[in-house]
Structure 1
Amino acid sequence: MGTHQFFSRFLAIATTTMIALPAQAYEVSAVTGGGSIEGVVVFRGDVPTKKIIPTKDVEVCGMPRDEPLIRVGANQAVESAVVYLVEVTSGKEWPTAGKTPELDNVKCRFEPEVQVIAAGPLDVVNTDPVLHNTHGYYGKRTAFNLALPNKGQRIPVELPREGTVRIDCDAHGWMEGWIYVVDNPYYAVTGTDGKYSITDVPPGDYKLVAVQPFTGSMEVPVSVAGGKATTLDIELTKQ
């Protein structure tokens, strides 16, 4: 084998090996002198709405109505925006595990509409006395597709990797929900006041992502100093 052929084969093998390597898993470690990131998420644009016109199961799903595509309260505060740090390889413990995360069908809505979970189990539940077909997607690829014809039905599924999982119902086309599967515990979901707080962050420089289904995501650099709170207010804009 000539030198050129040898190095060509070596490069091909090395490239294949690099591609095959998994991403570094998050490791729990002691956080000394951690800081925090806190702030408010706002949206200052016009709030669009979508028309909901139930054509079946009206006694459960409700009457026609307009619903906002982004929930904005006092002082333009955004509810149910997700804020999280990316590329964090080690740090604080995951939140104490209680029960398995749930996605519930309630009055032809998903509850919660937006949630953040670690990769792993999820229980899909039907509280309604009507058929729901709950369908989750990683991008265009189906993560799960479940028929739930019975009230009180519960089906366990697995979301095996990080990423955004969009949820819809094949029986009620207006239903939509979002699950953000993350690889580290540095995340928050805003309440009605738009506030978020991420605590016990090891000092350093990070990328912070804020996302809401209507606006999409935005990435912001942020520095965290030991024992201090970094204030970072975020204005979402439609991408």
Structure 2
Amino acid sequence: MSIRRGRLPIHATAIASLSTVIIAAALGSSAQAYDEGPVTGGGSITGKVTFSGPAPTRKVIPTKDVEVCGGVREEPLVRVGPDQGVESTVVYLVDVAKGKAWPAAGKMPELDNVKCAFSPEVQVIRAGSLDVVNNDPVLHNTHGYYDKRTAFNLALPNQGQRIPVELKRPGTVRIDCDAHGWMEGWVYVLDNPYYAITGADGKFTISDVPPGNYTLVAVQSFTGPLQQPVAVAAGKPTNLTIELKKK
């Protein structure tokens, strides 16, 4: 269990760095352009992400704005269901040169400050724009990092304030709040649409994958990234069980 009174605990900084290293190694020093096109004989990757043992927790001790942020509480570092499935794990393929089209553009991705927590806590976006929003009646200073390098640093003193930022480089962006040190979020910026985020049961599906051999990464903010090779056959599912472990 880690106790948070201010800044980010050591394990999260190390995990963000390691995740960025894995993505950079897989993508190369400069990410290649992804080529959208029809997929013939696509397969799928389905599976479940699990965690064995008691789910670790952290104690949150707000020191300001408690009328909005709430009081002292325990929060899970890994959200584990009754069947050991892990929620909010991002599973994705790296180094995919060509494949299915990205989903049609809809609402701009958002990172909201809501009751002194980031919503969504974990999300995947295509390299590009992200709106940072403050829905609280208190000042938030939302700070995003690629590893230790600042991606954006925004003061949002007003409720309803909205500021767009650009995240043009694939990688892991760790988010914190300089005004409320226990807040933490994660934005995974990917260069291809072959990804999934696990639900409460820990299950995921990545569909319409061109047949071939790939590297799959599963990353959860506390346990860090785990990568493994995966082969996809034409018209068939590849089933995986991915067990995350406490570092």
* TM-score scaled by length of structure 1: 0.90
Whole-angstrom CA distance in 2 between matches of 1:75 and 1:193: 7
1:186-239 Cα offsets, whole Å, 9 max, x none, are 000001111100000000111110000100011111111111111111111123
Letter in 2 for 1:149: P
SS at match of 1:60: helix
* Equivalent residue number for residue 75 of structure 2: 67
Q: State how 1:1-239 maps to structure 2 within 5 Å.
A: 22-239=30-247
Q: Give the CA deviation at 1:22.
A: 3.8
**Which structure: larger Rg?**
1
Letter in 1 for 2:53: G
Whole-angstrom CA distance in 1 between matches of 2:85 and 2:75: 17
Whole-angstrom CA distance in 2 between matches of 1:35 and 1:56: 51
Q: Give the CA deviation at 1:21.
A: 8.1
Whole-angstrom CA distance in 2 between matches of 1:210 and 1:95: 21
SS at match of 2:169: coil
On the 8 A contact 2:31/2:170 being kept in 1, the answer is no
Letter in 2 for 1:187: Y
Two-structure CA RMSD over aligned residues (Å) = 1.2
User: For the structure 1 residues 71 and 90, does the alpha-carbon distance in structure 2 shift closer, same or farther, using more than 3 Å as the test?
Assistant: same
Long gaps (5+) in structure 2: 1-27
On the 8 A contact 2:59/2:75 being kept in 1, the answer is yes
Whole-angstrom CA distance in 2 between matches of 1:178 and 1:21: 22
Deviating 4+ runs (over 4 angstroms): none
Whole-angstrom CA distance in 1 between matches of 2:209 and 2:225: 21
SS at match of 1:232: strand
* Equivalent residue number for residue 23 of structure 2: none
Whole-angstrom CA distance in 2 between matches of 1:21 and 1:221: 21
Long gaps (5+) in structure 1: 1-19
Whole-angstrom CA distance in 2 between matches of 1:188 and 1:45: 24
1:93-135 Cα offsets, whole Å, 9 max, x none, are 0011111100000000000000011110000000111100000
1:72-103 Cα offsets, whole Å, 9 max, x none, are 11211100000000110100000111111000
On the 8 A contact 2:85/2:200 being kept in 1, the answer is yes
User: For the structure 1 residues 22 and 81, does the alpha-carbon distance in structure 2 shift closer, same or farther, using more than 3 Å as the test?
Assistant: closer
Q: Give the CA deviation at 1:47.
A: 1.6
User: For the structure 1 residues 199 and 166, does the alpha-carbon distance in structure 2 shift closer, same or farther, using more than 3 Å as the test?
Assistant: same
